[in-house]
Structures are given as structure tokens and as C-alpha cells.
Amino acid sequence: VGKQPIRETNIYMYLYFVFFIICGSFFTLNLFIGVIIDNFNEQKKKAGGSLEMFMTEDQKKYYKR
């Protein structure tokens, strides 16, 4: 009794927490986007370097004009 933690006594913990969340979010987002781009490039290589594999027939007609 009487030995409870005092709120808002250490502002550096707030700054550390915010910094950790921001850096963690950027790191996770970077990994996620890297996997997507890597898979896209792999599929592009398999198709012979052509983007037409991702297009519908109408898009291919418009692209070839």
C-alpha cells in the first residue's frame, strides 16, 4: 500500500515506445512489400519478361496499339 507506480514520471519511455513502434512498423512494411515485389519479379521472369501475363484480353489489345 502506498507503493504504486507514479504515472508519467519517465518521458524517455514514451519516446522509446513511439520510436520502437514506428521502426517496427517500417520494418514489417518493408518485408511485406519486398515479398510482393520479389514474387512479381519471379512471375515476370517465368513469363519471359513480359507484363502481358497480368493483363486481360482487352488490356492486351489496348497495350499493343
Residues 20-53 have pLDDT tens digits of 999 999 999 999 999 999 998 888 888 776 777 7
Has this prediction a pTM greater than 0.85? no
User: Which of 30-34, 53-57, 58-62 has the least mean pLDDT?
Assistant: 53-57
Whether 16 maps to a domain, the answer reads yes
Whether 5 maps to a domain, the answer reads no
18 pLDDT above the threshold of 70: yes
Whether 19 maps to a domain, the answer reads yes
CB-based contacts of 33-37 (< 8 A; 24+ apart in sequence)? none
15: cell is: 519516446
Number of domains in the chain: 1
Residue 57: give the domain boundaries. Answer: 11-63
